[in-house]
Structure 1
């Protein structure tokens, strides 16, 4: 059976998962990349080193964010969100966003590229040097979301 997820089910998929994909575009070229994230009912929080994704989102902040839960070819849920990329630059807000993200990821076995250890170190440095340069911490402020499912 195929169907549409309601708002509560969409939020549940976003909250239950920590890996999604960001889609951004520049000059007609779409770039999609996986990211580790945390969801707080309003926005997606993530971090990254400066690279192609960050450079594109700085120029073109309208992004798409997608998350899947797949337990089988006939049992899955998929969510797509559209929103705006916002870099978190205020040191206090950045610290709490990182704390939220680390808290969500630290008890899970995540990829080394998620940078959880690096974020722990960065948070410790911020207590000493609040303006320490480090990964870009950002959020996606969600404006629209939709979801589908298939259940056998």
Structure 2
């Protein structure tokens, strides 16, 4: 049976998952892409190289974010959050966000194939030397969640 997640369940799902899907829309085009992220209860923090999603969010900062946890077709949870893209330009905040993302993702790295393009480097001074990393946040203004359980 399909039901609604309560506020605590929504917050837990957003904080516990590693990958979400970011939806943006600009100039008549809708684009959805998976991203790794960190959620602090107010904003969703991500990083990216310059590309289509960054260009689109700069043009239209209103975005949608979806995360789910699926055990099977009748046992799943899903949250959709709406918010506004804000680019992080202050260096100290950029480094803080990158460190949070690194700490969050590192336990899931299974080999050394992760490259600088993912923002993982040996020294802080190496950040951005190969690819310009853009740090950003989605300031969440609305959330909803659904689940189905046997």
Q: TM-score w.r.t. structure 2 length? A: 0.89
Higher mean C-alpha deviation, range 37-46 or range 110-119: 110-119
* Alpha-carbon RMSD: 2.6
1:38: how far off? 1.1
- What's the counterpart of residue 72 of structure 1? 72
Q: Indicate if the aligned counterparts of 1:26 and 1:56 stay in contact, CA closer than 8 A.
A: yes
Match of 1:137 among 116, 135, 148: 135
- What's the counterpart of residue 149 of structure 1? 147
Q: Which has the higher helix share?
A: 1
- C-alpha change, 1:96 and 1:84, in structure 2 (3 Å) is same
* Structure 1 spans left out of the alignment, 5+ residues: none
Q: Deviations over 1:5-46 (max 9, x none)?
A: 011100111111010001111122211111111111111111
- 2:9 pairs with 1:4: no
Q: TM-score w.r.t. structure 1 length? A: 0.88
Matched pairs, number: 149
* Structure 2 spans left out of the alignment, 5+ residues: none
Q: Indicate if the aligned counterparts of 1:95 and 1:123 stay in contact, CA closer than 8 A.
A: no
1:143 aligned counterpart, secondary structure: strand
